Amino acid sequence: MFSWSARNYNGSMFSIFQYSFIQNAFLAGTVVAVVGGFVGYFLVTRGLTFAGHALSHIGFAGAAAALLIGVDPILGMLAFTIVAGMGIGIFGKDLREEDINIGIVMTLALGFGALFIALYNGYAEQAYSILFGTILGISHTDVLVTLIFGIGTIVVLAAIFRPLLFSSVDPEVAEARGVPVRALGIVFLVLVAIAVSMSVQVVGVLLIFTLLVGPAATATRLVNNPIGAVTLSIGLALAFTWLGIFLAATGSFPVTFYIATISFVVYLPVRLLTVRT
């Protein structure tokens, strides 16, 4: 697994940008943060944070299966999460029943993920990176793939922004007015699946909520206007990611730790001092 410590760093705070892996980390992290902040707003607004959490664990099984057969883990994760996201959107009706079904499928996926990892005879670092992320070790190809999926996700989400927001705030009225609520829900969950798969490179499966929920949860408590909340969510995700990468590049701890800690430290006082209306 790629490692970096403060002993490798000397010079001004901007000198780290001379290294290609730092450049790759900031580029990929920027794309993932924008997508995470954008998708995360709707994830929080629609009350689907548990579904997002479940998709990350289902994706773990897909990534582990891909490792087992010698395929890029991101492809396996995309396949599993997209199918699962579509399934949740198609069969999900009552929220309580949906959460139970998602929980059962999630535990089954975790079991299969553990089995696939146990059967895997390759480098343990690859499995470790799925769980905790390896943003300081991604390649130019990873950045390009992330950029393509990121742009696609942002374009689709921007295109359905208004009807998706309507169906998120008042689904009954939206459906009565002819908005395709179920279809929008399916499309959105597919976008969540893509965002989850992209975010794995930064924070890994275990801390996927860091970028998908933390910034959005903070933003929705501070700003009531949807556009403002989305903008703030993206801004916070970018700030957390950039600061986390910089601290990891000049310090001794992994990126995941810094991003998760910063996200929590920012959210906690906002949660304690504000009342959501």
pLDDT tens digits for range 109-147: 888 888 887 887 766 566 666 666 677 677 788 788 888
Is the residue at 145 inside a domain? yes
Separate counts of helices (H) and strands (E) for the chain: 13, 0
Q: State the sign of the Cα–Cα–Cα–Cα dihedral 254, 38, 186, 152.
A: negative
Is the residue at 216 inside a domain? no
Whether the CB-CB separation of 75 and 59 falls below 8 Å is answered with no
Is the residue at 159 inside a domain? yes
The pTM (predicted TM-score) of the whole model is 0.83
Assess whether pLDDT exceeds 90 at residue 158: yes
Assess whether pLDDT exceeds 70 at residue 277: no
Tell me which residue range forms the domain holding 64: 17-205
Write b or e for each residue in 75-113: b if 16 or more Cβ atoms lie within 10 A of its Cβ, otherwise e: ebbbbbbbebbebbbeebeeeeebbebbeebbeebbebb
What is the band of 166 on the pLDDT scale with cuts at 50, 70, 90? very high
pLDDT at 2: 46
Structure-model confidence comparison of residues 94 and 209, the more confident one: 209
Assess whether pLDDT exceeds 50 at residue 6: no
**Out of 51-65, 120-134, 223-237, which region has the weakest mean confidence (pLDDT)?**
120-134
Assess whether pLDDT exceeds 80 at residue 63: yes
Is the residue at 105 inside a domain? yes
**CA distances (Å), origin 214, targets 31, 69, 155, 194:** 17, 34, 23, 18
Q: What CATH number is associated with residue 57?
A: 1.10.3470.10
Is the residue at 277 inside a domain? no
Is the residue at 254 inside a domain? no
Is the residue at 42 inside a domain? yes
DSSP reduced 3-state for 271: helix
Question: Which residue in 133, 175, 136, 160 sits closest to 39, CA to CA?
Answer: 160
pLDDT at 159: 95
> What single DSSP character describes residue 46?
T
The domain total for the chain is 1
Is the residue at 55 inside a domain? yes
For residue range 176-189, list pLDDT tens digits in order: 888 898 889 889 98
* Residue 211 CA from chain centroid, whole number: 6
Whether the CB-CB separation of 156 and 173 falls below 8 Å is answered with no
Top mean pLDDT of 89-93, 100-104, 250-254 is at: 250-254
